[in-house]
Structure 1
Amino acid sequence: MPNASPLKWRFIWNNHNNLHSQTSNTLAEAKASVRPYLTTNCRKEFLHECWGLQLNNLGSEKELQSYQSYLHHYEESCLCVPTSLADCTHEHFCKAVQQLQKGTRKSCEATIKSLLPQTSQNPEAAKECINFVGRAILLIDISGWKMDEILPNFIIRVIASDSKQEDQYRMPLSFNARTFAEVAGIKILWSRDLLSHLEMGLNDSTLAIFHNVKVLQLYEQSALGAIFPDAFIDETRRTLSLMLPCADKAAVKWFNSKQRRIGLDITAGNCPHLRATQRNIQDFNLWRDRLIISKEAFDSSQPSGLLQFWRDDRNRVQWWTFWIAIIVFLLTLVGVIESALQVYKAYYPSPQLQTSKVR
């Protein structure tokens, strides 16, 4: 990884050198900016304090492993803790995130300010703490959360409002992340910000896909799930079923290669399969607008290069017509070249042939 940043290198180095297996302080004692890499026991404590998740049974180690992508995201985020929060421990952040559903941003900042260390008890630190735990723990960019607004209203305003679009059609099987990348030439940006899910980039050249499905499970079993409208988590998971279809072998192979190379949440590729009757655009209410925009970009894209043309089977009749025309053209070209060679040979016979004629 020649282009990895110093922070990324530091994260990779610490993972490879087993810092997670070393003896560490508790969440209440370890400063997040100094020791962001949690031990196994601290990881369990973190999931319990933030999400109420209990991991005390015999299969807890295997279950904890399934949260690897999410916990790595939190630890990477702690490498960039704002300087105003330098004395905060992991426990401070766990307590702060629990306050975010209890009132307006203004009241949350006042409460969180009183929970922070003495060196961080100022309005700016409280503001940065809210933004930090949003990105690091909730996987939501809440920097645009207004002072007089409660968090659920912010979520509705930004993404989870009912769609007014009345389109009626079924999403085709070809509408998935692999064909976006390999056929339409639209780059997939794997996002850790839930609110950026399915956003098209500049000139429709990129598509963001939120991949951390495990945090969706955490929301479902936690009181923090109340910040979303009803059915939001389920519909988000169904959009991932569209984009990463588990019944499409080519799509599964493509996702698995990305997962191994980038370290994506592996559970993103295991969302339930959608039957044909479940792929109607009207079945998606909260994400419908973004799905429509992304489908328009997908449909209007044109493959570039023979490889993308070969993969572009969105219109089977058009695909066969194109390749039959290519084959006919090549056969015609071969025939023309062969005829030209015969004419050339007739006017310019080889020296051996000329000698034989003279004899």
Structure 2
Amino acid sequence: MDGPADSYVTIRSYEPLVFIVRQLRADVPRESMLELLRTDTSLTGPDRFRENSINLAARLLTMLKIGRAENQVAARGYLDWSAGTLRELISQRFSDAPILDFTHTRFPKTFDAWSLDSISGLSIEFTDNIADHLLLVDDDTTVLIFHHVTFLEYQGPDNLFPPGFIEETKHTLALLFPQGTFGAPQRGKEYKRKWLRKLTAAAAPCAVDQRLGHCFGTLRAEQRHIERFHYWRDRLVILKQAFDEATPTTISQWWHDRRNGERWYTFWVAILVLAVTAFLGLVQCVESALQVYKAFYPS
């Protein structure tokens, strides 16, 4: 814990951090934890340092931005926790019912992270804050994706999140990074795996979980219905709207955009006819030029 960060917390070793984590998992209220830290003579400093120590432990345990850190950069979306248990805070944050209702809407197989980037034109950025998962930022030009696959896998049945939250978050990653496409080698999908490797490499110095795309399988057709999602439904609906409304602007986007098969074939048939017409026109021009040349310079 050495370095500039230890100027803002009371803990200086691993054991006090583990102690606070155990209190958090045991649903000890924040006020009671603060009293416990005050009685520990090894933890010196003002109360705000003890508050920061509790926030630090809560952040490490839940991957949520809890409390505003000193001199924090990009403090968007942090949770203000002043009283009660950590479980109550998380439940309050994720307990709201979905607002958008798109009953019987199903995500097509073409809907994934690659399509959002390469067809819809949305930039993909990874976040360490699970509360920012699937959030559109930067004037709706960038989507944030929580990438910590290992963290999700290690959440047991006694985790601090609401029932079904972790499993649904796994399903969103299976939707955006299906294992059948981004995981095991599959003919015709190598370009998507190369895209993911390039995307994760560009995220440096942020270390992206390398198991992304290799876990959680591929969602079946019935699992891709929007009503199967509760906690992330609103953000998924907004992403699907951006995906459906996007219009290709480059040749590459037109080539990869298979959302409407009829439109795709019509476009490329028109391009082929135009190319053939231009070629035949060029041949006729060359032939006419040769005829004129021969007329003036007969052999």
Q: TM-score range by the shorter chain?
A: 0.7 to 0.9
Checking the alignment, whether the CA contact within 8 Å between 1:180 and 1:186 is kept in structure 2 is yes
Equivalent position of 1:131 in the other structure: 55
DSSP-derived class of the 2:102 partner? coil
* Post-superposition offset of 1:244: 0.6
Higher helix share: 1
* Post-superposition offset of 1:258: 4.2
1:268 to 193, 212, 215: 212
2:264 to 305, 319, 344: 319
* Post-superposition offset of 1:301: 2.1
Distance change >3 Å, CA 96–CA 87, structure 1 → 2: closer
Letter in 2 for 1:138: T
Q: Does 1:84 align with 2:84?
A: no
* Post-superposition offset of 1:116: 7.8
* Post-superposition offset of 1:284: 0.7
Alignment length (residue pairs): 274
Checking the alignment, whether the CA contact within 8 Å between 1:244 and 1:255 is kept in structure 2 is no
Checking the alignment, whether the CA contact within 8 Å between 2:10 and 2:43 is kept in structure 1 is no
**C-alpha distance in 2 between matches for 1:242 and 1:278:** 9
**C-alpha distance in 2 between matches for 1:171 and 1:285:** 15
Equivalent position of 1:298 in the other structure: 243
**C-alpha distance in 1 between matches for 2:110 and 2:282:** 39
Equivalent position of 2:86 in the other structure: 151
Equivalent position of 1:206 in the other structure: 142
Query: Equivalences for 1:30-179 in 2 at 5 Å?
Result: 32-33=1-2, 81-85=5-9, 88-101=12-25, 102-115=27-40, 117-120=42-45, 122-143=46-67, 144-168=79-103, 169-179=105-115
Unaligned runs of 5+ in 2: 68-78
Distance change >3 Å, CA 309–CA 105, structure 1 → 2: farther
**C-alpha distance in 1 between matches for 2:9 and 2:221:** 50
C-alpha deviations, 1:187-232, integer Å up to 9, x for none? 11112211111111122211111111211232215x4x0x211111
1:245 to 172, 175, 178: 178
**C-alpha distance in 2 between matches for 1:255 and 1:355:** 61
Q: CA RMSD in A?
A: 2.6
C-alpha deviations, 1:86-134, integer Å up to 9, x for none? 76112222222223352444444444454584433x2211222233233
Distance change >3 Å, CA 116–CA 217, structure 1 → 2: farther
Misfit runs of 4+, over 6 Å? none
Unaligned runs of 5+ in 1: 1-31, 35-79
Distance change >3 Å, CA 299–CA 106, structure 1 → 2: farther
* Post-superposition offset of 1:327: 1.2
* Post-superposition offset of 1:82: 4.7
